[in-house]
Amino acid sequence: MRIPLVALALVAGCAVDTAPPARAAERFHAALAAHREEAACALLTRRTADRLPDPGQTCADALRELRLGPGGPVASVGVWGDEAQVRLTGDTLFLHRFSYGWRVKAAGCRPMGDLPYACEVED
C-alpha cells in the first residue's frame, strides 16, 4: 500500500518536541546533584514549590531533606498538550508547560500498579 506524500507530510508536521521537557527534568536533577537546591526549586511549578516545605522551612531545605535519588539518563518522554512525563533511569517526573518554559510538577515518582504514581514532590 502506498501512502500519499501529502499524508506523510501531515503526520511529520504533528511530531511533538520532547526535548524541552527532557532538558527541564535533567536540569532539575543536575541542580540536586550539585547541591544547588535553590536552582532546583526554581524549576518547580510555583504551586509545587509552595506546597513542598513544611512551615518554617524553605523549598531548598525541603529538597535537601528529601534526598531524591539520582535522575540518570532520559529513558522516555511522553507529551500530552501542556503536560509531560519524563522517565529517567532513576526517577519519573511530571512537568507542565508554561509560557516561560517547562516546570516540574512532581518528582521522585514511583508507579503503583493500577493506582496513580506515588511522588515525593508533588503539587
Tell me the pLDDT of the chain averaged across its residues.
89
Q: How confident is the model at residue 15 (pLDDT cuts 50, 70, 90)?
A: confident
SS3 content of the chain, % helix, strand, coil (to 5): 35, 35, 30
**Domain parsing of the chain, residue ranges:** 18-122
The predicted-structure confidence for 18-77, as pLDDT tens digits, reads as follows 999 999 999 999 999 999 999 999 999 999 999 999 999 999 999 999 989 889 999 999
Q: Provide the CATH number for the domain formed by 18-122 in this structure.
A: 3.10.450.50
Residue 36's CB: how many other CB atoms inside 10 A? Answer: 14
For the whole model, what pTM was predicted?
0.85
Q: Which cell is 57 given?
A: 522551612
